[in-house]
Structure 1
Amino acid sequence: MPSILIIGGGPAGLSAAIYAARADLDVTVLYKDGGALGKTDKIENYFGFPEALSGAELLARGRAQAERLGAKLVQTEVIGFEYAERGFAVKTTDSRYTGDAAILATGAPRAVPPIAGISEFEGRGVSYCAVCDAFFYRGKAVAVLGQGEYALEEARTLLPVAGSVTLLTNGSEPPAALPDGLAVDTRPVTAVEGADKVARIAFSEGDPLAVDGVFIAYGTAGSSDFARKLGAQLDGNKIKIDGDMATAVPGLFAAGDCTGGLLQVAKAVSDGAQAAMSAVKFVRKQ
Structure 2
Amino acid sequence: MNLFTWSPINKKKRNYFKILSCLIILFIFVAVLNLFSKPLKNYFYILSSPAQKTFFSAGVSTSGFLDSFLNLSDLAKENENLKKENQYLLYKISVLISNQKNTEAIFDFSNSCQEKNFTNVMASQIGFDGQDIVSIDKGASGGLSEGMPVIDQHGVIFGKIFEVYENFSKVMLISNKNSAIDVMVQRVLEDGSLQQINGVVRGSGSLSIYLDLVQVDQEIKEGDVVLSSSLEKVFPKDLLVGKITKINKDDQKPFQSAELKPFFEVENTDNLFVITNYKQP
TM-score (norm 1): 0.24
The structure where helix makes up a greater share of residues is 2
Higher relative contact order structure (alpha carbons within 8 Å, sequence separation ≥ 6)? 1
* TM-score, length of structure 2 as denominator length: 0.24
Larger radius of gyration: 2
